[in-house]
Amino acid sequence: MSRPPLAREKVLDAFEHVLLVEGERAATMDRVAAEAGVSKGGLLYHFASKIALEEALIERMDHLVALDMDEMLADPSGVAAAFIRSSAQTGDELDRAITAVGRLASNGSALSVEAIRRLRVTWHDALKPFVESEVGLELILLVSDGVYFNNALTIGSVPEIADMEALITMVTTAAGVQSPAA
């Protein structure tokens, strides 16, 4: 707990970065060690195996998700709007972690698949009280997934979001979201 060693964080950052920019195939132990500026031995001191690296990344994601949830619940524009907008926040800490874990998930990492599924349930339960129908809730989650997917697809480059606010209005209206002012 308390304060994780700097080198450990550097390695985890490097793992995440390579996953995002070049994909899972490129994220080998050698490559990650080089990216982090440590030797392979150094990396293996902190993470004894590749699975240990994955677990650490999932843990990071879970932590950031919890923080984000608190922020969303406090957002004056409403939870649902905050949620969709948040899924378009490419490049922030949370989005990077989710996308990186998503890459692992689409590669057969059972732990990561499970982590993403848990994440979806968490979001579902958090949004439920604010949306009138289950279908509306599903719509919101699907749009968020779509936005995420398009971000994830664009390996290494920043994707284009056209008119996010108009989209958010359209979705929240159609889904039947409780007005934040109400």
Q: How far is the CB of 9 from a second copy (least distance, A)?
A: 24
Binding to DNA in span 32-71, by CB under 7 A? 38-42, 44-46, 48-51
Q: Which is nearer to a second copy, 53 or 141 (CB)?
A: 141
Is there binding between residue 29 and DNA (CB under 7 A)? yes
CA angle 133, 138, 139 (to 5 degrees): 95
Is there binding between residue 105 and a second copy (CB under 8 A)? yes
CA angle 63, 115, 99 (to 5 degrees): 75
135 contact, one of a second copy, DNA, none, CB 5-8 Å limit per kind:
a second copy
Phi/psi for 177 (5° steps) reads: -95, 135
How many residues bind DNA (CB under 7 A)? The answer is: 21
Phi-psi domain of 109 (left: phi exceeds 0; alpha: psi -120 through 50; beta: other): beta
162 contact, one of a second copy, DNA, none, CB 5-8 Å limit per kind:
a second copy
DSSP state, residue 168? H
Q: How far is the CB of 84 from a second copy (least distance, A)?
A: 10
Give the Cα separation of 127 and 87 in Å (integer): 14
State the CB neighbour count (10 A cutoff) for residue 70.
8
Q: Which residues bind a second copy (CB under 8 A)?
A: 22-26, 102-103, 105-109, 113, 116-117, 134-136, 138-139, 141-150, 152-155, 162-163, 166-167, 170-171, 173-175
